[in-house]
Structure 1
Amino acid sequence: MEFKEIKNIINILNETDLIEIDVTFGKERVFIKKDNVVKQVLKSTKAPKKEEMSKKELIEIKSQNVGNIILLNKTGEPIVKKGQSIKEGEVLAYIESVGLKAEVKSPVNGIISDVLLADGDLADYGKILFLIEKA
């Protein structure tokens, strides 16, 4: 299989709602899957109804570091959950990189509207981690 063919398969994946493609040409096989985070963001970015738009002010909490996100406490329970009320300065998660943990804190009082990553996922700089409905 040539690079052009693989590039065409990637373009098909990017231009459609497909999540993964598995193609076999003779003895060669290509399996390409979109990142799990992309699926979660696509699900959570549905256009809100007009009534919801006027009532809700959603704040995006973005990663200020690069590393793996920690969403669970030492007992394995989520630090925060969707629908939970939070206060300004409250720790929502941690970003772990080279053995160091950086806190992700809420800049506002509000309610967790969405958690966009799963525990252990890679949190790149600027990636949206949480959506918070401002109180």
Structure 2
Amino acid sequence: MLKMNELQEMVNIFDRSSVNVFTFEYEGMKIKLEKTKEVHQVEQAEKVSTSVPKSVMKIEKQAEEEISALEHVVSPMVGTFYASQSAGEEPFVKVGTSVKAGQVVCVLEAMKLFNEVQVEEDGEIIEILVEDGDVVEYGQPLFVIQKSQ
């Protein structure tokens, strides 16, 4: 049986490689990894913005500073997202909840194992990007946090 850390290492190697599509089959399980072309569009947009007048660049810098104060909590694995410890209980966090580094914000279930997801920095939850019971992918954003100053 393929272990979760082996799967994560395979995804990391794929991510760093120049390969765009990778299919892996093992004991009846099939995994297909595919890179999108969105990264290239972002790089082109950044190149275009360097020729913008200074006044517009100041506004862009302010927007960048505001965006840099945001952090995404991403899924460390493929699994099912649960907002609370068990059905019927209050969710770990809601929009507007202040969180401290190391605080649990959700659990992910994979192969009958429940894994806690924690925030890395102090801040405030400003958006929850998935619904309770959704299947999430490795690296998928789950929450948007406004970092504390």
TM-score (norm 2): 0.53
Measured against aligned partners, the alpha-carbon deviations of 1:30-86 in whole angstroms (never above 9, x if no partner) come to: xxxxxxxxxxxxxxxxxxx97776446110111111110010233421110011100
Q: Which runs of 5+ in 1 are unaligned?
A: 1-48
- Paired residues, number: 87
Q: 1:121 matched to which residue of 2?
A: 134
Structure 2 residue ranges without an equivalent (≥5): 1-58
Residues 84 and 107 of structure 2 are in contact (CA less than 8 Å); yes or no, is this contact kept in structure 1? no
* Consecutive aligned runs of 4 or more in structure 1 exceeding 6 Å deviation: 49-52
Q: How does 1:1-135 map to 2 (within 5 A)?
A: 54-55=65-66, 57-74=69-86, 75-135=88-148
C-alpha distance in structure 2 between counterparts of 1:73 and 1:66, whole Å: 18
- In 2: Cα distance, 1:123 partner to 1:55 partner: 27
TM-score normalised by the chain length of structure 1: 0.59
Aligned residues: CA RMSD: 1.9
Separation of aligned partners in 1, 2:75 and 2:136:
6
- Percent of pairs identical after alignment? 33
